[in-house]
């Protein structure tokens, strides 16, 4: 398009003085860079330079005040990977991702599928209602749930347990219950956004396909398997990827406020460990090494998604 636009603009200028036109063409060539410069500078200064700085810090030994005191090469990485903590948080991260896939992929997509036969007004209502938790400050949300999870017999969840004749439980200090409890909060908070995306993906499926299949006598299950699921797959994959990337970020605030990664690292994960190593234990070298490992893992995930999308597209054709 811009080729034709440029040509038409050149033509209108045809009569202009030559050196003025030359200067103008130059300026026009530079225009997009002027538009981009402020945004790019901000992104480079506050995202990419910090990233480079993180690599630098990860190769040094020091503290929060003087993070690059002595160069130690890959010592931080070696210490981290051979240490006890790394294996534990890797396992806990994987376990948490499992909860996140259930709560932030399977549940919202299933709920979205249930809206297929509903009227637009109903869909609009559910979208708006389920999106509500996502607009409330996360630490406020955590305070509400802290009240539910109170370990005393007066706590709401313990009252429910009591109604079924069960003894009260200390949800957030129990090594088995802490992670599911934290996961419940984080997934409750972000689920509405994924529900919204799932609805958008379903709405993008052309109605004619569904009607044609229906006229041809396809059963509900056939319709789902042969038409809806294949056409929905890219959206589903997108939701899965943003869940895998965003899950540990989403559970960060509840961990910070409620468990600080405990009991016994049961609620710790790669992302929270970066924070706690850096700002609680002031081991910035280790924290930075963890950061780099996390980014490499994410990079791999995104590359994998890219390949998967590529393959999906070629299957379609």
Partner 1 sequence: MTVKSQRSLWLARIILFSATLLILAPLVYLLGISFKPPEQIFANVLSPFSSELTLTNYTNVIETVPLLGYLWNSLLFACGVAIGQLLLALPAAYAFSYYTFRFKNLLLALVLLSLMVPFVVTYIPNYLLLSQFRLVNTLPGLILPMLGVSLGFGIFLLRQHFMSFQKEIMEAAMIDGATSWQTLVHVVAPANLSAITAVLVYVLINTWNQFIWPLLITGGREEAYTLTVGVQMYFTNPEGGNRWGSIMAASMLTALPTIIIYLLMRKAILRTFTEGAVKG
Contact flags string 113-142 toward partner 1, x per CB under 8 A? -xxxxx---x---xxxxxxxx-xxxxxxx-
CB 185 within 8 A of CB 145: yes
172 or 191: whose CB is closer to partner 1? 191
Q: Which two tokens stand for residue 19?
A: 């050196």
Beta-carbon contacts of residue 279 (< 8 Å; ≥ 6 apart) = 64
Binding to partner 1, residues 141-200 (CB under 8 A): 141, 143-145, 147-148, 154-156, 159-160, 188, 191-193, 196-197, 199-200
Q: In 10 A of CB 263, how many CB atoms?
A: 16
Contact flags string 76-115 toward partner 1, x per CB under 8 A? -----------------------------------x--xx
Binding to partner 1, residues 7-26 (CB under 8 A): 8-9, 12
CB 105 within 8 A of CB 246: no
**Least Cβ distance, residue 43 to partner 1 (angstroms):** 5
Contact flags string 195-234 toward partner 1, x per CB under 8 A? -xx-xxx-xx---------------x--------------
Q: Which of 83, 87, 175, 299 binds partner 1 (CB under 8 A)?
A: 299
Q: Which of 228, 240, 251, 287 binds partner 1 (CB under 8 A)?
A: 287
CA angle 92, 98, 101 (to 5 degrees): 140
Facing residues of 60 across strands? Answer: 71
79 or 175: whose CB is closer to partner 1? 79
**Least Cβ distance, residue 169 to partner 1 (angstroms):** 15
Binding to partner 1, residues 236-275 (CB under 8 A): 238, 245, 248-249, 252-253, 256-257, 271, 274-275
What's the CA gap between 185 and 243, in Å, rounded? 15
**Least Cβ distance, residue 32 to partner 1 (angstroms):** 4
C-alpha distances out from residue 2 to 10, 74, 189, 229, Å: 12, 49, 43, 38
Q: Rounded to 5 degrees, what are φ and ψ at 261?
A: 95, -15
Cα pseudo-dihedral 238, 128, 140, 274, rounded to 10: 10
**Least Cβ distance, residue 150 to partner 1 (angstroms):** 9
C-alpha distances out from residue 94 to 13, 84, 175, 251, Å: 62, 16, 16, 13
**Least Cβ distance, residue 179 to partner 1 (angstroms):** 19
137 or 215: whose CB is closer to partner 1? 137
């Amino acid at each position: 398009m811009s080729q034709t636009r440029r040509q038409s603009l050149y033509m209108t200028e045809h009569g202009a003085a030559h050196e003025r036109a030359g200067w103008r063409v130059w300026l026009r060539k530079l225009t997009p860079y002027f538009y981009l410069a402020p945004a790019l500078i901000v992104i480079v200064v506050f995202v990419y330079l910090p990233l480079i700085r993180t690599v630098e810090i990860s190769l040094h030994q020091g503290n929060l005040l003087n993070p690059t005191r002595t160069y130690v090469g890959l010592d931080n990485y070696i210490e981290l990977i051979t240490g006890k903590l790394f294996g534990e948080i890797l396992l806990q991260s994987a376990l948490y991702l499992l909860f996140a896939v259930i709560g932030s992929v399977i549940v919202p997509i299933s709920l979205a599928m249930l809206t297929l036969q509903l009227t637009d007004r109903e869909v609009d209502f559910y979208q708006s209602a389920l999106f509500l938790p996502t607009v409330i400050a996360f630490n406020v949300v955590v305070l509400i749930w802290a009240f539910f999870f109170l370990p005393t017999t007066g706590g709401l969840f313990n009252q429910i347990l009591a109604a079924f004749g069960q003894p009260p439980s200390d949800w957030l200090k129990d090594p088995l219950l802490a992670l599911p409890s934290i996961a419940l909060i984080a997934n409750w908070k972000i689920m509405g956004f994924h529900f919204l995306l799932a609805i958008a993906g379903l709405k993008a499926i052309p109605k004619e396909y569904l009607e044609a299949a229906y006229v041809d006598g396809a059963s509900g299950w056939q319709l789902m398997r042969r038409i809806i699921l294949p056409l929905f797959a890219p959206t589903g994959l997108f939701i899965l990827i943003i869940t895998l990337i965003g899950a540990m970020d989403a559970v960060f605030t509840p961990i910070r406020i409620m468990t600080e990664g405990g009991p016994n690292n049961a609620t710790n994960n790669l992302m929270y460990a970066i924070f706690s190593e850096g700002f609680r234990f002031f081991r910035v070298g280790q924290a930075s090494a963890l950061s780099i490992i996390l980014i490499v893992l994410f990079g791999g995930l995104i590359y994998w998604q890219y390949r998967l999308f590529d393959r999906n597209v070629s299957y379609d054709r």
